[in-house]
Structure 1
Amino acid sequence: MERNRQGYRDLMKAVAYFQNGIGNFVLAMPSLMALASMTESKKIDVCLNSGWMDYRRKAIEEILIAWRDVVNKVFDYPGDGFDIDEYDLYFWSPFGEKNNELSDKFSKKLISRNLYLPNWRDTGVHEADYYMQIVRAQGFSGKAPVVRFPLADNPVLDLKRPIIGVCNGYYRLNGYWSKKGWPYYEKLCEVMRLYFDGSLVAVGSEGEIIGNDYLSENYCGRLTILETAKVIAQLDLFVTNDTGLMHIADILGVPMIALFGPTIVSKNRPRGKKSIVLRGNSGCVECLLTEKFKTCVDNICMKSISVGDVMAKAKEVLRDFI
């Protein structure tokens, strides 16, 4: 098909390549919607790496399949036939896998439009805004689209309110991200159960919250990502550290207390009106992207956030239940 003077086909096609965390994907969803809106079909194709088989891939693929109003096809690379040159518009999350031929091609497409990763620590750029910059550099001029996150039909919670969710989520296939965890969830659940006289549920991957007698339901490792989102959507309050489910709760507009220590608040913070950020008060906070993060063996930043700190904010959010 011939291209016009701007170098685009008259009937443009868009594609995204992704291999990264659930939270990164959720933050990219407005940008994928924006890119799709620029095409004739109003949809985007998404390519995933065939060799990427951990739980993040399964969760993101489930979201993509359910997101029918935005996603056209989901490709495997190199398993499925795929030609990047058939497309005019591109999205790539540069936080993921970089060491293959396809990621190099996507990287060159973005560099050709003068798109480079910002210095997160110095610029204060939010990750979702950086993703929108990728789309605006390709001609999108509207506001960031509002995402309607897909939900499963179940489970429907029949529990005493207030219903409070907890999540101690971080990538667990290696120890690199364990510094994001918060060690006091069991004590928090005990105090909340006694004070609010409601229900507590845990969500996340298997083993993230265990041995907690104060939970009404422990869904860790038992639900798909869309089922987990269904649970989160029914909460009166969600307490979580910086993880993918935090970003899902933010999109859903669920009241939330997000606990931050080593990661960069300006880059990853939830932005919803009902979201509160509690940040560790140790002198080493926000060490991500430094040597301190790589060598840290004691996350005193997260330990510096007390159960009392969280309860003070929870009382504000749940004042109608007191």
Structure 2
Amino acid sequence: MDEPKTILVIAWGGIGDIVCLSPALLALRKRYHEARIVILCENNTPCELIKCWNGAYTFSIKEKKFKGFSGKIRLIKKLRQFYPDVSVMNAIGPSFRSAFISVLSGAKIRIGKSVRGKGFLNTIRFPEYRIHEIDANFEIFKYFGVERTDEKPFVQIPEDSFLFVNRWCKDKKITPKEVIGIHPGASDKNKRWDKFSELIRSFVKEGERLVIFGSEDERNYIETIVKDCGESLSYSLDPVNEPYGQTSVFSFVGYPITHAAAMISCCKLFIGNDSGLSHLASALCVPTITIFGPTSWERGRPYGDKNIIVKSNLPCSPCSWLGVGIKCKLFECLKEIKVEDVYKQAVELLNR
């Protein structure tokens, strides 16, 4: 293969998938340091996160200007103006859609997954890798000369996000590395552990201060959880009834993902479900506890030696490799995980 001048990376999935793609992207940049790298993201939020990296040009399929039929034509024109020599998808993307986008981009070499023959438009096809997502991405990138490196997941946070968080913490009288970060939500409701209220009460009882994270879509769900705790919830934009210095639980919900990343980096511990923010915390070297239920921890656990996985030992768990097609209605795998199990692991991590 000749040295490509432009490489198109089609990055499917959410925040966690982008974090899992980051080591392979670093290796790609080192291998083809003269090439232009274009990253097409499936969703806007992970796109905002990776836009901070100056190693590539990044945009999202779901930008407003790409909506509707005319928007799709605009997207095709934008892809073709880069004249990509090679297109490649990450490990979790759909076979046919990726191949179709690659064809429309004009890429001559199209590296993509082929499951049940759906990747027939690709010129180089790879199977469904049943290994960790980071390892799978490296296997894929080997197809055009990118060797495995010891690169770790990375997150590049803009300076203005750190400045915002510094002001926010000062306003709330929060000292960095004093608080525990909690994310009770997940984009897929089937991944949500339902005992976070009890866990929050356990921490508050011991005098800990917590910051609750979530997207704007999760606001109502998170408010319900914190109200169940019986504790005062301090909103960053709303008036409160008591001094911040006495508040135990703070809300950091609905902020841009780069602000959330900066705030997570200030936590001494992070606890969440199988979701993107857990991967984000791990990439920021924050000790992380991730609660797994129906999805595969072998594929999607956060990388690093400061992480602990909490899961049940039911023989039916996990019942989904990619987190799709979950047919279970009982979710005993999550219900079986006790508050004491998570709290004990948290104390262990804090004491390391």
Q: TM-score normalised to the size of structure 2? A: 0.74
Alpha-carbon shift at residue 179 of structure 1 (Å): 1.7
Asked if residue 285 in structure 1 is aligned to residue 317 in structure 2, the reply is yes
Alpha-carbon shift at residue 298 of structure 1 (Å): 2.1
Match of 2:111 among 109, 112, 124: 109
Could you tell me which residue of structure 2 aligns to residue 88 of structure 1? 85
The answer as to whether partners of 1:31 and 1:144 remain within 8 angstroms in 2 is no
- Change in Cα spacing, 1:295 to 1:84, as seen in structure 2 (3 Å) is farther
Q: Distance in 2 between matches of 1:217 and 1:316?
A: 24
Alpha-carbon shift at residue 38 of structure 1 (Å): 2.8
Could you tell me which residue of structure 2 aligns to residue 60 of structure 1? 46
Q: Distance in 1 between matches of 2:194 and 2:80?
A: 47
3-state SS of paired residue (1:86): coil
Please list, as runs of the form range in 1=range in 2, the aligned pairs for 1:73-222 lying within 5 A after superposition. 73-74=58-59, 78-80=73-75, 81=77, 82-83=79-80, 86-93=83-90, 95-96=92-93, 98-99=96-97, 101-102=100-101, 108-110=110-112, 112-118=123-129, 120=130, 125-151=131-157, 152-153=161-162, 154-156=164-166, 157=169, 158-159=173-174, 162-171=178-187, 177-195=188-206, 197-205=207-215, 206-207=218-219, 208-211=221-224, 212=226, 213=231, 216-221=249-254
Match of 1:233 among 257, 265, 270: 265
Percent sequence identity over aligned pairs: 24
- Change in Cα spacing, 1:231 to 1:25, as seen in structure 2 (3 Å) is same
3-state SS of paired residue (1:257): strand
The answer as to whether partners of 1:263 and 1:286 remain within 8 angstroms in 2 is yes
The answer as to whether partners of 2:271 and 2:290 remain within 8 angstroms in 1 is yes
Q: Distance in 2 between matches of 1:170 and 1:252?
A: 19
Q: Distance in 2 between matches of 1:129 and 1:36?
A: 17
Structure 2: which 5+ residue stretches go unaligned?
62-71, 113-121, 234-248
Could you tell me which residue of structure 1 aligns to residue 246 of structure 2? none
Q: 1:46 is matched by which residue type in structure 2?
A: I
Q: 2:57 is matched by which residue type in structure 1?
A: N
The answer as to whether partners of 1:166 and 1:240 remain within 8 angstroms in 2 is yes
Could you tell me which residue of structure 2 aligns to residue 174 of structure 1? none
- Change in Cα spacing, 1:277 to 1:84, as seen in structure 2 (3 Å) is farther
3-state SS of paired residue (1:155): helix
Count of residues in Structure 1 that have an aligned counterpart in Structure 2:
293
Alpha-carbon shift at residue 60 of structure 1 (Å): 1.9
Could you tell me which residue of structure 2 aligns to residue 72 of structure 1? 57
Alpha-carbon shift at residue 87 of structure 1 (Å): 2.5
Could you tell me which residue of structure 2 aligns to residue 15 of structure 1? 8
CA RMSD of aligned residues (A): 2.8
3-state SS of paired residue (2:9): strand
- Change in Cα spacing, 1:181 to 1:66, as seen in structure 2 (3 Å) is same
3-state SS of paired residue (1:74): strand
Q: Distance in 1 between matches of 2:82 and 2:251?
A: 47
Alpha-carbon shift at residue 42 of structure 1 (Å): 5.5
Q: Deviations over 1:147-177 (max 9, x none)?
A: 4412222213342664111112322xxxxx3
Q: Distance in 2 between matches of 1:35 and 1:129?
A: 14
Q: Distance in 2 between matches of 1:75 and 1:191?
A: 41
Could you tell me which residue of structure 2 aligns to residue 54 of structure 1? none
Alpha-carbon shift at residue 178 of structure 1 (Å): 1.8
The answer as to whether partners of 1:190 and 1:214 remain within 8 angstroms in 2 is no
Alpha-carbon shift at residue 301 of structure 1 (Å): 0.7
Match of 1:309 among 327, 341, 344: 341
The answer as to whether partners of 2:155 and 2:284 remain within 8 angstroms in 1 is yes
Match of 1:30 among 16, 23, 26: 23
Q: Deviations over 1:86-108 (max 9, x none)?
A: 33343213534544731567895
The answer as to whether partners of 1:264 and 1:288 remain within 8 angstroms in 2 is yes
- Change in Cα spacing, 1:48 to 1:276, as seen in structure 2 (3 Å) is closer
The answer as to whether partners of 1:21 and 1:244 remain within 8 angstroms in 2 is yes
Q: 2:155 is matched by which residue type in structure 1?
A: F
Judging by fraction of residues, say which structure has more helix.
2
Alpha-carbon shift at residue 293 of structure 1 (Å): 5.6
- Change in Cα spacing, 1:94 to 1:127, as seen in structure 2 (3 Å) is closer
Q: 1:134 is matched by which residue type in structure 2?
A: I
Q: Distance in 2 between matches of 1:75 and 1:281?
A: 38
The answer as to whether partners of 2:15 and 2:280 remain within 8 angstroms in 1 is no
Q: TM-score normalised to the size of structure 1? A: 0.81
Alpha-carbon shift at residue 291 of structure 1 (Å): 12
